[in-house]
Amino acid sequence: MKRIPVAGLLVTAMACALAQQKFGADGIAEYRKMLEDGNPSDLFEARGEELWKKKRGPKNASLEQCDLGKGPGVVKGAFVELPRYFADTKKVQDLESRLLTCMETLQGFDAAEIAKTPFGVGEQVSIEGLVAYVSAESRGSRFNLPQAHADEQKMYELGKRAFFYRAGPYDFSCASCHGEAGKRIRMQELPKLTSDPGDGVGFAAWPAYRLSSGEMWGMQRRLNDCYRQQRFPFPGYGSDVTIALGVYMGVNAKGAQSIAPAIKR
Amino acid sequence: MADPMRIRAQAADGKATVRVLMSHEMETGQRKDAAGNTIPAWHIQQVSARWNGATVMNAQWGPAVAKNPYLQFAVKGAKAGDKISITWLDNRGDNRTDEAVVS
Amino acid sequence: MRHPRLRRALFGLFAVLTACATPVTPSPDYDALMAEMMRASFREQGIAKMDRLMQDASNAECSKSEGGPLSDARSEAIQTANYKSVKMPADGKFIGDWREGERLAQNGRGMTWTDPSTATTANGGGCYNCHELSKAEISFGNIGPSLFNYGKLHGVANPEAPESLPIVDYTWRKIYNSKAFNACSGMPRFGHAGLLSEAQLKHLMALLLDPNSPVNK
Amino acid sequence: MQTRREILSGSASVAAMLAATGLLPRLAHAQNVPGYKASAFESKSIADAMAALGVAMPSESTDIRVTAPDIAENGAVVPVGAATSLAGVKSILILVEKNPNVLAAMFDVSDAVEADFSTRVKMGQSSNVFAVALMGDGRSLFAQKDVKVTLGGCGG
């Protein structure tokens, strides 16, 4: 056992490190493995379940009668069939836009107001919990979006066009990053989203806890930040382009097992 | 009030492994807001664990512990049915105690 | 059937007949629906204005082809137009400081709605997002090819020397407007789109071509 | 009719008044938990942290284990573990050499818990991570590991 002055510590460490370290993808895989146990999304799931069952809003009602597509109150299995067409709103809706409908009709919240609220503020925080809870109730299930309704088919076609739509100062489209398999930005793998990228990858890995911000991101927030980095203008919360992309990616991911809520860089 | 913790405690090989997730911002005091003002430090400073009511561990944390903190440790001799409770206190005077039964 | 014209005519007739025989379900006009969806879904935010949704020929045609190649004629036309847009450096000098170039290559910021300004000084080149450059940086993307030893592999001993001019000229144009050589290139047009200034482009040139740059070590 | 903003500013002034008279039940500003070793947690170097805790500079020991990834994909969350199987441990510390404040966490060990703790820390940059065991006999021992923090994503 030897005593080392502080200044010497760095040098020895560097020498050892150079000899032993796993660089690149192996190192990242090791890092991710260490974080698998203890995903803070658990905290959001618990908060979401409480919000789902709690009487809230101007009508002092819970969300327990919310119809997520499998009938009022059915949460299990609903997430892996979204986005889908809803007869009451005559619209194809994703999880977040459907939650807004329920928050408005059942609880009396102003859906348009929540859609305008910045992420991470006010009722948007409630939605972070709710998407974690609802998606967790389909954990392990396989994506199977309905495509029987003409509007669902239409949204798929439009989503495909949106996916390949190149514009902005960088000439980027979704396909710039997600059109080919095996690609990375820096060390970040980019799932190919034009076909099924596999279980728990791409569409099947959102919502997710973001380590960078310590927040739960649903698909709406994921797409919003994609468009930010695509250098596009701002997509409205629950806007048709976001729903259409959800349908396109979700239908392409048919059969993929959902691991949501996942944990992401 | 702060959200509940998620505590899992599993007995095996004569000990119980305890895994805890806490809901907390763990603001460092090093960051600035959009207006350029320093966001004050706000973090858990003390964490303690009790096994069937008796304190078995005391920890102190700085703001370098990550947001929504995770903690794992093991209680020697704890078995299924025992109670593990965790308490945290932060520098704003907020605190939270939650309990789990060892499985 | 040997006569293509006749075949087309018959096929057209067949299509009309089937259309008349079955109840009419008009296929949606996706071009119109798409245009309306994009217009209605986005709004301007900060420096990201709605005109960013407009497409030039490269973007419009490469979107339509969904990642597939364009016809040779269209590729040629788009590349020619983009080639012509390239402005060479006013003072005839191409090589800046590779250290500045490395900083730009590391910096992936700029032009998002959270960035305060569209000025070139606010932008990075983001090169490492897609390319390997120096060996010291292990966090690099692979959407673009590796550029490690770019100058060395092209035999550039002195980027200022006349014999280096062909590769220097090509590299400048490629960074300035990548669509000059590939109509559907995935790389931003750093000069053409006003993302980087002439001086910044020179720094990136130095990063790639200066023998002292870590890229060529 | 009162607008929401007026109500808010009204309640803010009420809060200010209560605060001024010391009637607020809980202080809005930060206040250390009693017994908190603030000077140790504010230390800028390992030597300062050890001095603040009143312990000797640690010696390297193979009996101490530090677990951390070689590469952290995100410096905001870096899993770190510190452990020893030596008997007579008083405390286990986790330190990050290049953080603005080096000491991240300190665990006081009792006979009922193993001297083996895992948590997650923030790292501003690539750095050595140290696990230090403070022993009952006054010795302090360390193990270290270099963790590289990568830049990820688009950097935007």
CATH code: domain of residue D134: 2.60.40.2470
Contact D76 A212 (CB under 8 A): yes
List pLDDT tens digits, range B83-102. Answer: 999 999 999 999 999 999 99
The nearest CA of chain D is from the CA of B59 a distance in Å of: 4
Helix, coil or strand: residue A213: coil
The residues of A carrying an active-site annotation are 226
Contact C109 D151 (CB under 8 A): no
Homologous superfamily (CATH) for B6-101: Immunoglobulins (2.60.40.10)
Contact C113 A162 (CB under 8 A): no
Predicted local confidence at residue C22, as pLDDT:
53
Predicted local confidence at residue D152, as pLDDT:
54
**Which residues in chain A land under pLDDT 70?**
1-25
Predicted local confidence at residue C23, as pLDDT:
55
Pairing relation of β-strands D127-135 and D140-149? antiparallel
| Under 8 Å between Cβ of B74 and B16 | yes
Q: Say yes or no to pLDDT of D53 above 60.
A: yes
- Nearest-angstrom CA–CA distance, C201 and C194: 11
Establish if D7 touches chain A: CB-CB under 8 angstroms: no
Closest CA to A256 of A151, A144, A178: A144
3-state secondary structure B34-66: CCCCECCCECEEEEEEEECCEEEEEEEECCCEC
Write the DSSP string, A49-109: HHHHHS-BTTTTB-STT-BSSSSBT--TTTGGG-SEEETTTTEEE-HHHHHHHHHHHTT--
Q: Does some domain include residue D26?
A: no
Predicted local confidence at residue D26, as pLDDT:
45
Predicted local confidence at residue C67, as pLDDT:
86
Q: Say yes or no to pLDDT of B3 above 70.
A: yes
Band the pLDDT of B2: cuts 50, 70, 90. Answer: confident
Residue A55 phi, psi (nearest 5) = -75, 120
Q: Domains in chain A, ordered, with CATH?
A: 41-264 (1.10.760.10)
Q: Which two tokens stand for residue C56?
A: 């030039």
List pLDDT tens digits, range C169-184. Answer: 999 999 999 999 999 9
List pLDDT tens digits, range A136-193. Answer: 999 999 999 999 999 999 999 999 999 999 999 999 999 999 999 999 999 888 999 9
| Under 8 Å between Cβ of A151 and A92 | yes
Of B31-35, C97-101, C136-140, D140-144, which gets the smallest average pLDDT? B31-35
Establish if D96 touches chain B: CB-CB under 8 angstroms: yes
Picking from A37, A46, A214, the nearest residue to B68 by CB comes out as: A214
Q: Say yes or no to pLDDT of D22 above 50.
A: no
The parent domain of residue D106 ranges over: 56-149
Helix, coil or strand: residue C189: coil
- Nearest-angstrom CA–CA distance, C210 and C206: 5
Closest CA to B31 of D49, D147, A214: A214
The nearest CA of chain D is from the CA of C138 a distance in Å of: 8
Q: Domains in chain C, ordered, with CATH?
A: 98-216 (1.10.760.10)
Q: Say yes or no to pLDDT of D42 above 80.
A: yes
Q: List the subunits that have 3+ CB pairs under 8 angstroms with B.
A: A, D
Q: Does some domain include residue D31?
A: no
Write the DSSP string, D71-111: EES-TT-EEEEEEE--SSEEEEEEEETTSSS-EEEEEEE-T
Please compute Rg for chain D using Cα positions. 21
Helix boundaries (H) for chain A:
6-20, 24-36, 41-53, 95-105, 111-116, 123-136, 150-163, 174-178, 219-229, 240-252
Picking from B4, B21, B23, the nearest residue to A38 by CB comes out as: B21
pTM above threshold 0.90: no
| Under 8 Å between Cβ of B2 and B94 | yes
Predicted local confidence at residue C5, as pLDDT:
52
Q: Say yes or no to pLDDT of D116 above 50.
A: yes
Picking from D148, D152, D155, the nearest residue to C109 by CB comes out as: D155
Predicted local confidence at residue A30, as pLDDT:
87
List pLDDT tens digits, range C110-160. Answer: 999 999 999 999 999 999 999 999 999 988 999 999 999 999 999 999 999
Residue with tokens 């006003």: C194
Q: Does some domain include residue D66?
A: yes
Domain count, chain D: 1
Predicted local confidence at residue D155, as pLDDT:
46
Percentage with pLDDT > 70 across chain B: 99
CB within 8 A of D68, min separation 6: which ones?
D78, D79, D80, D81, D129, D145, D147
- Nearest-angstrom CA–CA distance, C182 and C201: 19
Picking from D47, D120, D128, the nearest residue to A13 by CB comes out as: D128
Q: Does some domain include residue D111?
A: yes
ipTM of the complex: 0.82
| Under 8 Å between Cβ of A216 and A207 | yes
Percentage with pLDDT > 70 across chain D: 78
CA-based torsion, A20, A24, A25, A29: positive or negative: positive
Q: CA nearest A186 in D: which residue?
A: D152
Please compute Rg for chain B using Cα positions. 15
Predicted local confidence at residue C213, as pLDDT:
98
- Nearest-angstrom CA–CA distance, D11 and D7: 6
Contact B65 D104 (CB under 8 A): yes
Neighbours of A146 (CB within 10 A): 15
The nearest CA of chain B is from the CA of A214 a distance in Å of: 6
Predicted local confidence at residue A33, as pLDDT:
87
Predicted local confidence at residue A32, as pLDDT:
86
Alpha-carbon torsion angle D93, D97, D102, D103, nearest 10: -10
Write the DSSP string, D34-61: TT--HHHHT-SSHHHHHHHHT-PPPEE-
Residue range B75-88: average pLDDT?
97
Chain B residues with beta carbon closer than 8 angstroms to that of D79: 70
List pLDDT tens digits, range C12-53. Answer: 444 444 444 555 567 889 999 999 999 999 999 999 999 999
Picking from A185, A229, A233, the nearest residue to C143 by CB comes out as: A185
Give, for C167, the enclosing helix (H) or strand (E): helix C165-176
**Average pLDDT over chain B, rounded to whole?**
95
Q: CA nearest C111 in D: which residue?
A: D156
CB within 8 A of C103, min separation 6: which ones?
C124, C203
Establish if A37 touches chain B: CB-CB under 8 angstroms: yes
Establish if A233 touches chain B: CB-CB under 8 angstroms: no
Contact D153 A23 (CB under 8 A): no
Q: Which two tokens stand for residue A80?
A: 């892996």
Q: Say yes or no to pLDDT of D130 above 60.
A: yes
The residues facing D121 across adjacent strands are B65, D78
Pairing relation of β-strands B44-51 and B6-12? unpaired
Neighbours of D63 (CB within 10 A): 12
Residue with tokens 């090169």: C127
CB within 8 A of C16, min separation 6: which ones?
none
The nearest CA of chain A is from the CA of B53 a distance in Å of: 25
* Chains A, C in contact, 3 or more Cβ pairs below 8 Å: yes
List pLDDT tens digits, range C66-85. Answer: 989 999 999 999 999 999 99
Establish if A175 touches chain C: CB-CB under 8 angstroms: yes
Q: Residue C115, CB half-sphere, CA atoms under 13 Å: how many?
A: 25
Q: CA nearest D76 in A: which residue?
A: A212
Percentage with pLDDT > 70 across chain C: 88
The nearest CA of chain C is from the CA of A174 a distance in Å of: 10
Establish if D155 touches chain A: CB-CB under 8 angstroms: yes
Neighbours of D75 (CB within 10 A): 24
Band the pLDDT of D82: cuts 50, 70, 90. Answer: very high
Write the DSSP string, C21-57: HSPP-PPP-HHHHHHHHHHHHEE-BTTB-GGGG---H
Residue range C162-167: average pLDDT?
96
Predicted local confidence at residue C2, as pLDDT:
47
Establish if D155 touches chain C: CB-CB under 8 angstroms: yes
CA-based torsion, D111, D115, D119, D125: positive or negative: positive
Q: List the subunits that have 3+ CB pairs under 8 angstroms with A.
A: B, C, D
Residue range D60-71: average pLDDT?
96
Q: Does some domain include residue D83?
A: yes
